[in-house]
Structure 1
Amino acid sequence: MALRPDTLKPDVACWQAFQSQLAARGERRLVLVEGEQASAISWLQQLLPTMAMRSGVWTGTPDASPDERLVPVPPQQARQWLGRELDVVVWDGWRGNPPDCLAALAGTLKAGGLMFWLMPSLEQWAGYDDPDYRRTGLDDVQHHPFAERMSATLAASPEVIRVNPELGHGPLLPGLGDPVTPFEIAQTADQQQTVDAIVRTGQGHRRRPLVITADRGRGKSAALGIAAIRLLKEGRRHVVVTAPSPEAVDTVFRHARLAAGDSLSADSSETVLVLTDGQRLSFLPPDQLLAQAPEAELVMVDEAAALPAHRLTQILTGWPRVVFASTVHGYEGSGRGFAIRFRQVLNARTPQWREITLKAPIRWASTDPLEPLIARLFLLNADVPQQVPTDGTVVIEPWTPARASEQELAQAFGLLVNAHYRTTPADLRQWLDDPSVISWRLTINGQLCGVLWAAREGNLAPELAEQVMRGKRRVRGHLLPQSLANHSGFAEAASRSWLRVVRIAISEQCRRQGLGKRLVDSAVDYARANGYDGLGTSFGGSEDLLRFWQRAGLELVRVGMKREAGTGEYAVQMLLGSSHGARELIDKLRRRLLEHWPTLVPLYWRDLEPEVLRLMTADLARDLPLTVDDRRDLNSFAAGYRGYDLMVPVMRKVSLGQSLSRILAASDDSDLWCRRVIQGWSWPELQQAGLCRGQKDGEARLRQLTGKLLQQSRNL
């Protein structure tokens, strides 16, 4: 792109001096380049080639890059740069502003770094047609409270440097002055304690995992690399690190190489460090780690909050010594939410687990203004009050997050972060900007303790609903009705009007008091009063969530056939009908799912946790009539006259009855029945899982359960 002669020319000498001062002080800055896109790029083409830069990225179109040293990166791929360090980020907001990715790239800037953000003038943000809205269903919305809130935050932030080349406005760069002591990256006491804790974990007792949480820039990844080499030098032979991507462990391996020094063998590579005596630090992606199951004295998981919960559990139980490290307030998932949610697994599987937190920054100075600015923009520090009332006057009322005060919004979003560890800034944007959103808040004695976020979906024209059912059309939004119409084959599901619960969160201290159900009841009452056909939800099918929605009165209508990348669970969809037509539809959906259940489970849900499977099967169960031949075969099996292999069809049929569901709920052999009968596990698999000592033992226990069923059931 040719330089525009009418564009404001940057004062190169001032910018160079400013960059040097930032590096000396250990600080970073956001530069907001407002106005016409072409003018902004032209201004940067004059400035950037004169600036010091060893690494940088550009999110605009490659042919428009203002400096050939910048690596072109599509905005949606920005999170792939997690774990790396950059001198310059040029974010072209004219190409789209996915919040998670923007926040991620801001975190890659090292001391002295500059982030240039190209956008229209701040006054235009509320109505700016951001290209990224098209993938979220917000492109037809005229007003964007999320962008309006960001513009107000930036306008009120004196640390933001604003440039408008089109209007000839040059920035008044702040006079920073030189610090008494130039900034240097040095190990903090926090980091040294973390290194020692990792080493103790790697050398200590089995089944005592360590959880490391930290804000970004605190040196947790460096601590992993330093500790890994210490362990190898002190006698361990193999340490494995895993993370969402190879790039995420760049910092781990860079510091490991420095710590290894002359001990590093020539056999080393980018993702495998070999010491002179053969000890190894190697990287494996999570799926390969679990598939290969290498021998390792310690497995370290970096950016753990970005991995599905079931993967973390598999790693936890697959190796005797494990370290989990996660960003506390993050764009890749919340480490705080991760710590809260994953704590349940840790307490159950490894109750002697330990936790350590890094607080002091390493990659930049404590005076750096960019980190708190990004945190304010995207509510990365959103949290709930530590002390909340657990009893008192409960008030549930409709609430609009876009009109809330900053404190109210931060507390409400903090509730979502704590309850759902995959909550990111993109969720905040959707919550504020989506006009279909309806929200409620729950307070106790005036203190916020719960929120429910719902969205209006469905009500598609019958012709469009039919096309959706046939897979010929896809309408943005409308997650629940479209999924049901397309996967279950009932076009009516998309033409009915639904209120879908997107998120629900209750303060940790107030859980298990029925408050969540009261929030759901309020949403149900609203749906009935306003003519909706019903209320529904779609979520990752964990045991606790399944039990919650069952208690709330919703019924199972669909289970996804693949684990979701975000939650690591199978998507579960449940409905509660308000209208007569919706209740009839729900009955048809459930009858169809029940009919297909014995076939689908062994094919698609063979690895589903047995208790979750039992709850789902019990949800669908009906008292199905058995023939005389069925009862005869069951009696023969229970008495030992008939082998299991001949019983599979009738035992799967019995599994769909309410009688067996009640018996399995109270039986120690419930998992055995679910794994063998419903999911079709082999006897060796069951034996390896510790569910039986072999075929003879397993069949004997299934016979006992069948006998109990025959004795207790009136319907057999």
Structure 2
Amino acid sequence: MGVEGEINRFLQILRESRQRGLVVVGTRDMIGWAEKLSRYASGDCAIVAPSSKGLSSLCKAWAPPGSIERILGGEFSAAIIAVEGLIRPSIIAGAGETIRSRGFLAIVADPPGEWDPGPPGGTGLYRQYLISSIKDNPLHLWVDADAGRIVSRSTDLSEGVGTSWSLDGYKPSPASGVPRKLAAACRSESQARALEALARFLRGRWRSALVKGDRGRGKSYVLGLALAYAAWRRLIGRVIVVGPTPLSVQSMMSGLLRGLEVLGVGGYRVVRASGGEVVRVSGAWFRVAYDPPDTAEPAPLVVVDEAAAVGVARVRRLSWRAGKTLVATTIHGYEGSGRAFARLLPTILPKPYMELELAEPIRYLPGDPLERWLYRVFLLKAEPAEPEDLSELHAVEVPREVLARERRVLESVYGILVQAHYRNTPDDLLAMLESTHHRIYALTAGGTPAAVADVVIEAPEAEEEARIALDRLLYMAGASDAAFRGWRVSRIAVHEKIQRRGLGSRLLGYIEERARESGASLLTTMFSRHDVIPFWIKNGFTPFYISPRYNRVTGEKNIALAKPLDERGGEIVEAASKALSHKLVLAGSSIYRDLAAEKLALLLHSTPPSTPPLGLTRVQARHLEGFLKGEAMADQAFDAVYIAFANALLATRSWNPKDPRVIGAVARVVQGKPYSEVASIMGAETVEEAVELVEGFLREVLEDARGIWSSRVIP
């Protein structure tokens, strides 16, 4: 029959079964076979290929390997990956989610014996893992086109595939207020039910609503339909839409435009960006406009799409200052698992709060075999096994060969990490299997992982991205040319059902032992989830760096801490940490003003005391004496109070960073925040109470520190 005939027969099986499958073509003629596969899809396809291949006009949509997001949100009969060398897991997972029922995902690669989808200089384990996973796919065809042979084939049709949704059997909820013609624009029952709930949200007194679900469930689109309903009912005026990029909100904008069309709302204007993306829809009484995360300001209604990529800090800041907030986030999808983030959102969104979940896919049938394969292979829905007996725990290094070979171990290790860290991507799998700088350690109970850590070996000879903590430490210490070797704990997590039992600290202790044995001088970590700072400080780590800018992913500032393992390490950590303490105090009112005052106080208290850097003039000293005697308020002698308080904070550690008065004084004096905000931070009932508490504490601490500031009066 020949390979083309075999491909035709395989695609016919997909069409008849309404299921989606995988096609792999091994060939040296990548361009020719990409063109053939596009013809199989009649051009209704998306292609991922370098611009140098000249394939960008072959299909309806094109994305280079580094920008897979360009095709996301689209819907095609096929997605074709034509990439030589490295094929990142996120490319395969992302492309696979754009294909509709009866379609196929195609990978055009080198001939089977020559194909290595991993990075150059890696271990080769990703190749081993991916090839074995392809052969395990229940609905796939792998051909060696140049040799004219079938490498592997399976046409095991899934019996668990559901049926498509029809509006005919749909019964709207009583008094839903959603016209049936708008419900008809939905593509699943859960989407239609969510639209009804969002209509109630927009009419009611709720402050925030969360729409969650796996990738491809139509979350963004239903938000757009809800906005169209709100415009039709004249419930909205100015609406700000926030997402990582204009491209990321196009599904929502499509839903908005479709809804306006269905409801007969006319007279609106559509503004597009240079790339054709819709960035604003304006009518006579409403305006829906895209705003980037770093410049977005609150509005009567704020819509946050792809919230995990916007970051928890930005979502919190926007939602609490907006009238109403609609948020969409992905639980499982090509980006990885968003379970931890989805659990975090209800704790930060303002109340009253509504939560909705979309269950059914909208592009293909429930139970689709390609989706199940993508989720299993790239660990998009990894569920760790729960340890049963914690009486005997063993700390071990988990060899990457075991991860590549034993799927259950890999799922448990990976699953524990994604439970605790809300930014995970399939590409983390690539790093675990291929990076020679990574080590995986686990605390096991009966052979089942209970706690897991991903450690990166940082050394001068490593590439720059593998030295992110070490380079910042040396910079902060003013020793950029020094040769140090450190271990960075990239991620550490405990199974969610057995947390707060000291297992994370126990695993960290084991990693410290192994690092010492290896000759490392430092154990470091770097993260942007500020709620875990106490864990690291409790385990003997000292802060040495806080990024001046927000992390583009989380919306928080990155924080780095270190624990010295030898004398040289101790000297470098002390120097870097003292430098950080000066930055926190002297730049607290500028680049660190948005850092939570309680976190600034805690981090500062965890640095070693340092020599006071500032001096008072004689006039400032007299003004300070007047404040201490109660003859003046702190604001009247603010320059003197600031200098003396800064010196006291840097030189002493007798103050308690958890004391609300300390936190209030840090917020007011170091960060320059208004007393209205200080009162809220301290939990004071009135501004007057906050002033009294802060000034009372300042008089107390500055009197105790008299010997520090009085000896530094400039003649």
After TM superposition, is the score higher than 0.5?
yes
The answer to whether 1:228 aligns with 2:236 is no
Q: Is the 8 A contact 1:671 1:691 kept in 2?
A: no
The separation in 1 between residues aligned to 2:550 and 2:476, in whole angstroms, is 16
The answer to whether 1:656 aligns with 2:655 is no
Q: Is the 8 A contact 2:86 2:117 kept in 1?
A: no
What's the counterpart of residue 369 of structure 2? 369
Q: CA 1:129 to 1:301, structure 2 compared with 1: closer, same or farther past 3 Å?
A: closer
Q: Is the 8 A contact 2:19 2:101 kept in 1?
A: yes
Following superposition of structure 1 onto structure 2, how do residues 607-686 of structure 1 map, counting pairs within 5 Å? Answer: 607-622=594-609, 634-642=624-632, 643-647=636-640, 648-659=642-653, 661-662=655-656, 664-667=657-660, 669-681=661-673
SS of equivalent residue, structure 1 residue 264: coil
Offset from partner CA, 1:666-694 (integer Å, 9 cap, x none): 22x34432222212335687689898899
The separation in 2 between residues aligned to 1:410 and 1:677, in whole angstroms, is 49
The separation in 1 between residues aligned to 2:608 and 2:137, in whole angstroms, is 59
Q: CA 1:401 to 1:175, structure 2 compared with 1: closer, same or farther past 3 Å?
A: closer
Worse overlay, 565-574 or 243-252: 243-252
Q: Which amino acid aligns with 1:510?
A: I
Q: Which amino acid aligns with 2:264?
A: S
The separation in 2 between residues aligned to 1:328 and 1:499, in whole angstroms, is 31
The separation in 1 between residues aligned to 2:426 and 2:549, in whole angstroms, is 26
The separation in 2 between residues aligned to 1:122 and 1:714, in whole angstroms, is 77
What's the counterpart of residue 304 of structure 1? 307
Q: Is the 8 A contact 2:308 2:330 kept in 1?
A: yes
The answer to whether 1:313 aligns with 2:301 is no
What's the counterpart of residue 479 of structure 1? 468
What's the counterpart of residue 356 of structure 1? 356
Q: Is the 8 A contact 1:213 1:325 kept in 2?
A: yes
Gaps of 5+ in 1: 1-7, 134-138, 465-473
What's the counterpart of residue 211 of structure 2? 212
Q: CA 1:691 to 1:624, structure 2 compared with 1: closer, same or farther past 3 Å?
A: farther
Worse overlay, 69-78 or 678-687: 678-687
The answer to whether 1:28 aligns with 2:33 is no
Q: CA 1:682 to 1:188, structure 2 compared with 1: closer, same or farther past 3 Å?
A: closer
What's the counterpart of residue 165 of structure 1? 145
What's the counterpart of residue 528 of structure 1? 516
What's the counterpart of residue 252 of structure 1? 252
The separation in 1 between residues aligned to 2:433 and 2:310, in whole angstroms, is 26
The separation in 1 between residues aligned to 2:644 and 2:66, in whole angstroms, is 51
SS of equivalent residue, structure 1 residue 559: strand
Identity rate, percent: 23
Q: Is the 8 A contact 2:453 2:492 kept in 1?
A: yes
Q: CA 1:51 to 1:426, structure 2 compared with 1: closer, same or farther past 3 Å?
A: closer
The separation in 2 between residues aligned to 1:429 and 1:116, in whole angstroms, is 20
The answer to whether 1:322 aligns with 2:325 is yes
Q: CA 1:690 to 1:443, structure 2 compared with 1: closer, same or farther past 3 Å?
A: closer
SS of equivalent residue, structure 1 residue 10: helix
The answer to whether 1:285 aligns with 2:292 is yes
The separation in 1 between residues aligned to 2:337 and 2:79, in whole angstroms, is 23
The separation in 1 between residues aligned to 2:69 and 2:204, in whole angstroms, is 35
SS of equivalent residue, structure 1 residue 526: helix
The separation in 1 between residues aligned to 2:157 and 2:124, in whole angstroms, is 35
The separation in 2 between residues aligned to 1:595 and 1:394, in whole angstroms, is 42
SS of equivalent residue, structure 1 residue 665: coil
What's the counterpart of residue 402 of structure 1? 401
What's the counterpart of residue 699 of structure 2? 707
Q: CA deviation at 1:91?
A: 1.0
Q: CA deviation at 1:548?
A: 0.9
SS of equivalent residue, structure 1 residue 94: coil
Q: Is the 8 A contact 2:578 2:608 kept in 1?
A: no
Q: CA 1:218 to 1:695, structure 2 compared with 1: closer, same or farther past 3 Å?
A: closer
Q: CA 1:712 to 1:23, structure 2 compared with 1: closer, same or farther past 3 Å?
A: farther
SS of equivalent residue, structure 2 residue 606: helix
Q: Taking structure 2 as the reference length, what is the TM-score of the superposition?
A: 0.84
Offset from partner CA, 1:19-59 (integer Å, 9 cap, x none): 576456543222111132xx232233345346423452341
Gaps of 5+ in 2: 168-186, 271-277, 709-715
Q: Which amino acid aligns with 1:589?
A: A
- The RMSD of aligned alpha carbons is 3.6
Question: Would you tell me which structure has more helix in proportion to its own residues?
Answer: 1
Worse overlay, 418-427 or 352-361: 352-361
What's the counterpart of residue 111 of structure 1? 101
Q: Which amino acid aligns with 1:200?
A: R
Q: Which amino acid aligns with 2:637?
A: Y
Worse overlay, 371-380 or 628-637: 628-637
Q: CA deviation at 1:18?
A: 6.2
Q: CA deviation at 1:317?
A: 0.8
The separation in 2 between residues aligned to 1:429 and 1:675, in whole angstroms, is 43
SS of equivalent residue, structure 1 residue 325: strand
The separation in 2 between residues aligned to 1:384 and 1:146, in whole angstroms, is 21
The answer to whether 1:513 aligns with 2:501 is yes
The answer to whether 1:140 aligns with 2:145 is no
Q: Which amino acid aligns with 1:60?
A: P
Q: CA deviation at 1:79?
A: 1.8
The separation in 2 between residues aligned to 1:250 and 1:83, in whole angstroms, is 7
The separation in 2 between residues aligned to 1:644 and 1:206, in whole angstroms, is 45
The separation in 1 between residues aligned to 2:218 and 2:258, in whole angstroms, is 14
Q: CA deviation at 1:498?
A: 1.0
The separation in 1 between residues aligned to 2:257 and 2:372, in whole angstroms, is 31
What's the counterpart of residue 77 of structure 1? 67
The separation in 2 between residues aligned to 1:703 and 1:182, in whole angstroms, is 68
What's the counterpart of residue 61 of structure 1? 51
The separation in 1 between residues aligned to 2:578 and 2:87, in whole angstroms, is 44
Q: How many residues align?
A: 669
Q: CA 1:182 to 1:676, structure 2 compared with 1: closer, same or farther past 3 Å?
A: closer
Offset from partner CA, 1:53-75 (integer Å, 9 cap, x none): 34523413344429634544210
Q: Is the 8 A contact 1:456 1:499 kept in 2?
A: yes
The answer to whether 1:569 aligns with 2:570 is no
Q: Is the 8 A contact 1:42 1:66 kept in 2?
A: no
Q: Is the 8 A contact 2:564 2:573 kept in 1?
A: yes
